[in-house]
């Protein structure tokens, strides 16, 4: 009994020392290489900034996992589905989502889930950036005032919509060809493109988007997220929508 107790005690002390050493070690973040997706018509879009660029609002580890694992898995699923269903290679993802009911039944689920996730995340990386935040400018600022009651009200309503999403989903701002804006929340990886509505911007409220840093504090994440919104990119998307050229 004495030998077992002492051995267990030494083991525990060893684990404790290792844990303390790990805690004391400097935290070095590196963006892992994206896993190679099967060859096919879909690819992971290149992000314009490094994983740590949005800190402290979005931590590097979350960005790395979110991009190289979660988004990459959607691309992999789409390319795997495309091996057996050539129709997936015949149109871009926005057209596939916009006409999902006309697709063969066997590919509707992967298009809804993986295709929606691919489109949503492709938009997500684009509208964020380092040194961003602040208040909207230009035509987007005017449209927010006209259609959404001004920036302060818009932020409040947007955050409330994100909090109301039960479980996993997204909160979006949609835009039509006339430039009119509207708020829309969607569950899971559903996209407004499935309703033939263009997406101006949106925030991911799946737990994988914020849990490592914010745990269950989704409200805090939603408030902090405004610090990384790239309004110049949002204005570019707004102009593209009015020109009928906005895709994802």
The model carries a pTM of: 0.85
| Per-residue pLDDT at 87 | 86
3-state secondary structure of 118: helix
Domain range annotation of the chain: 59-248
Gyration radius of the chain's alpha carbons: 21
User: Domain 59-248 carries which CATH code?
Assistant: 3.55.40.20
**198-204 and 181-187 beta bridge pairing:** unpaired
Distance CA 201, CA 144 (A): 12
- pLDDT value at position 30? 34
Looking at residue 11, what is its pLDDT? Answer: 39
- Per-residue confidence (pLDDT) for residue 39, from 0 to 100: 74
Peptide bond into 56 cis (omega under 30): yes
pLDDT value at residue 19:
38
State the 10-residue block means of pLDDT for the chain, 248 residues long. Answer: 39 39 35 54 96 98 98 96 90 96 94 98 98 96 98 98 98 98 98 98 98 98 98 98 97
Burial of 147 (0-12, 13-18, 19+ CB in 10 A): middle
């Amino acid at each position: 009994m004495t030998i077992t107790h002492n051995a267990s005690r030494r083991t525990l002390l060893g684990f404790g020392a290792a844990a303390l050493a790990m805690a004391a070690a400097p935290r070095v973040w590196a963006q892992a290489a994206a896993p190679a997706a099967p060859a096919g018509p879909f690819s992971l879009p290149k992000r314009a900034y490094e994983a740590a660029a949005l800190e402290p609002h979005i931590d590097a580890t979350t960005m790395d996992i979110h991009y190289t694992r979660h988004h990459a898995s959607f691309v992999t699923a789409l390319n795997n589905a495309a091996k057996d269903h050539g129709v997936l290679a015949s149109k871009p993802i926005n057209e596939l989502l916009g006409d999902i009911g006309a697709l063969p039944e066997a590919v509707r689920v992967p298009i809804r889930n993986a295709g929606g996730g691919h489109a949503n995340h492709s938009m997500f990386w684009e509208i964020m950036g380092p040194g961003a935040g602040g208040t909207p400018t230009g035509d987007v600022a005017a449209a927010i005032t006209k259609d959404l009651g001004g920036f302060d009200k818009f932020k409040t309503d947007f955050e409330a919509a994100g909090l109301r999403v039960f479980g996993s989903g997204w909160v979006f701002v949609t835009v039509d060809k006339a430039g009119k804006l509207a708020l829309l929340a969607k569950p899971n990886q559903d996209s407004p493109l499935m309703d033939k509505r263009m997406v101006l911007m949106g925030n991911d409220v799946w737990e994988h988007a914020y849990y490592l840093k914010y745990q269950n504090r989704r409200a805090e994440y939603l408030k902090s997220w405004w610090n990384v919104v790239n309004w110049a990119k949002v204005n570019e998307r707004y102009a593209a929508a009015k020109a009928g050229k906005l895709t994802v």
